[in-house]
Amino acid sequence: MRGKEREDIRRVFDVFAKRYDEWYEKPFGKSAFELEKASIKPLCKNLKHPFLEVGVGTGRFAQALNIEYGVDISSGVLVFAKNRRIEVVKGAGEGLPFKDKTFGGVFLIVTLCFVNSPLKVLKEAVRVLTDNGGIILGLILKESPWARFYEEKRRKNDIFYKIARFYSFEDIKLMMEEAKLKIVEVNSTLFQPPAEKTLYFELPRKGYYMEAGFIALKAKKKLL
């Protein structure tokens, strides 16, 4: 990530860490979190600890999914993650401060939309992943009605979405290919029309659906 863009993102999450964390306590945020968690959790099956979340934020997903380690560029959000008993390290996804083949699971939950070099972040995730481990992504995809909803918020200069960028499923597949990853499982959720209101719970559907607001996918290393 270019220095200025990284600094802009870091500053936003440093200054507004409390606001970001409190969003998950609001009816919309709380219900969205439950849907997203339900789509990610089944993908963790058979992965061996320890786990790492890249872009751990305030640690809500890490806490809910029993992820022990988290890395983020923002000191502000890491205070919250540490209070949730996550072992935190300040650092960037493009240069993870961990040894090769350290983690059985590496999670990037709505992280790629906040980095300038998603391919480099994926390659670093592969580097620190054990050979039989899995990378789990949580994504809002560009073709989704929800991405269009958030793009409108960006145009209105929303604090968080003005620094986000969304990728299509084809973009993600191409990045995975270049990072020497193969997608082995996909769950889709959030089929409700976009609106900032309490969402009703729905079971995730297996596979990729263009109309889904949130996609969780699991990938493995392509071994020689």
Query: Strand 51-54 to strand 103-109: parallel, antiparallel, or no bridges (unpaired)?
Result: parallel
- What CATH number is given to the structural domain containing 107? 3.40.50.150
CA distances from 193 to 31, 40, 144, 161 (A): 14, 21, 10, 19
Domain range for 185: 3-196+204-221
pLDDT < 50 regions, the chain: 1
Domain count for the chain, please give it: 1
Supply the pLDDT for residue 157: 66
State the alpha helices, DSSP H only, in 41-117. Answer: 60-64, 75-83
Tens digit of pLDDT for each residue in 141-165?
A: 999 999 888 888 767 766 666 777 8
Supply the pLDDT for residue 1: 41
Task: Please report, rounded to a whole number, the percentage of residues in the chain having pLDDT higher than 70.
Answer: 93
C-alpha closest to that of 49 among 95, 100, 102, 89:
102
